[in-house]
Structure 1
Amino acid sequence: MPRLRRPLRVVAALTLLGTALALASPAGPATADVATAPATARETAAAAAATTSTELPLRPLTARAGCRRTCFGAISVNPRTGIAYEVHNTTTRAAAVKRAQRTCRTKSAEGRCFKVVWVRNGCAAVAARVQREEVVEWAGRAARTERGAVRQAKRAVRGPGTVRKWIAFCTAVRR
């Protein structure tokens, strides 16, 4: 319910403003032609409510994420199974890395899990070089944007074989 207070206040303010302007106009409220008349206060308020209710402010998103000013994330991979695990929006680096490793170990049946990359307030990506359906090399990089992280990770694994994006994500707070 607290999220609705601000849009309702905006609607009420716009309605009052529209009514006051209509009454204060020298021609009076009912002299304009329908085709050329500006939007009524009700239509203006409805449009304002539609735009404010669809926009999501950053503060509730980061509050839900559990990190207000600093968000950490990490990626662990199991090259034998070809599965990568991401954890993002934790409050500390250690928590992000530990959760990524724990998730990788518990959900991977075989092989070893590797900590590849961690990020603070940004994006991370892991790219892999594949030969004969087997991962032969991988690299993780962090950047300000997801596209930048993917690009840097792919550049780090140049060589024979196919270079692919393995996994990428961004934290809730980016700088």
Structure 2
Amino acid sequence: MIGIIDYSLGNTGNLVNALKKLGYESVITKDKNVLSSCEAIILPGVGHFGYAMNIINTSGLKDIIVELSKYKQLIGICLGMQLLFEHSEEGNAHGLGILKGSIARIDTDLTIPHLGWNTLTSNYQSLNGKDVYFIHSYKVSASEYTIAETDYNSNIPAIVKKENITGIQFHPEKSGETGLFILKNALDGSF
């Protein structure tokens, strides 16, 4: 069972369908006991960093997520990836602090948000050259955890990994077979 953290700011419908295609059952919940019993946990996210952290803090989810991150596979997707870090310019807000680093607005002369398909660059042959679907205006500043990146006239960490924690900036659930492959590897801890 895969636990999808419910804080009302995630693309959960498409995520549930993607997990089903991969053969996983899933549950959308904020219940600590249910999440503790899951084999992996996903923190989805669409929207504003400061607003999301306000919900997470006031609902008591912050302590639950931080605790579970110590021993569960935890995957943050899009805004969920950004929330794993210490701070964001978006709302001048503190994040979960599970990973070291900060979030900044994408510095580019191209259109913001960064919307559409981009190619990954990675030392991992299974990721290098793969096209995935992005929609975001903020990015992780340079990170020691980056295992794949993309270019949008600005270097953008696309996948970060530290032990049992994986962050995915793009939407794997909207990135076809490549996205499903990446999501499965994140859930299995295979990167």
TM-score interval w.r.t. the shorter chain? under 0.3
Higher relative helix content: 1
TM normalised by structure 2 equals: 0.19
TM normalised by structure 1 equals: 0.20
